[in-house]
A = this chain, B = another copy of it.
Amino acid sequence: MDPAERKARCERFARLCRERGLARTVQRRVIFEIVAERTDHPTADQVFELARKRLPGLSRTTAYRVLELLADLGVVTKACSPGAATRFDPMTQRHHHLVCLRCEKLVDIVDERLGRGVALPAAQARSFQVRDFSIHFHGLCAACQRQARAKQRGTVDQSNRAHQRGLERQRASGRQERSKR
């Protein structure tokens, strides 16, 4: 990430804390930095694990609380896919999403032209105050398309096997990590 951009974000965060009379604790600083460094969409638990490496005494409760606070301040945004854990996204500029209907992968799209011309119908615009919008594209990612085709043919090729194993690992990982404790 661009260092200037990163510094600007940290300063924005510090300013918002001052304005709201919030204490600048190590926990808040570290958790903010971790989310700001990421370009994927970590879950609260993933952020907690990462933060704990720098701050061994950190509690899960605090990680959740701080992330909620950051979302409230508007320095991170929350994203979700149905049935899965909330994910936190440092991207505060307008962006859109690709959501795979099968494996639930979530990909950001930044493209200014994309939302051009999108505006709320006048009737709703009077009562609802729009801050921003985002477009969700639902469909199939490349790997899931390959897999669907293979299934139709009644065969399974190696790359699809790999993708499926990846899926299973991903779904099981939360449980495993948790049960270690």
A residues touching B (Cβ–Cβ < 8 Å)? Answer: 78-83, 86-87, 98, 100-101, 107, 109, 111, 113-118, 120-121, 124, 127-142, 145
Contact = CB atoms under 8 A, between A and B. Distances in A.
Nearest to A142: B127
Contact of A114 (B121, B139, B141): B121
A111 to B, nearest CB: 5
A2 B23 CA distance: 55
Contacts of A87: 82
Contact of A117 (B83, B117, B127, B136): B117
Contacts of A113: 121
Contacts of A124: 98, 107, 109
B131 A134 contact: no
Counted per complex, copies of this chain come to 2
Contacts of A79: 82
Given A82-B87, A116-B117, A118-B135, 10 more contacts: A78-B82, A98-B124, A101-B131, A109-B121, A111-B121, A118-B118, A120-B137, A127-B142, A134-B136, A135-B136
B80 A83 contact: yes
28 contacts: A78-B82, A78-B83, A79-B82, A80-B81, A82-B86, A98-B120, A98-B128, A111-B121, A113-B121, A114-B121, A115-B118, A117-B117, A118-B118, A120-B137, A128-B140, A128-B141, A128-B142, A129-B140, A130-B137, A130-B138, A131-B138, A131-B140, A132-B138, A132-B139, A133-B136, A133-B137, A134-B136, A135-B135
Nearest to A101: B131
A138 B96 CA distance: 13
A98 B121 CA distance: 11
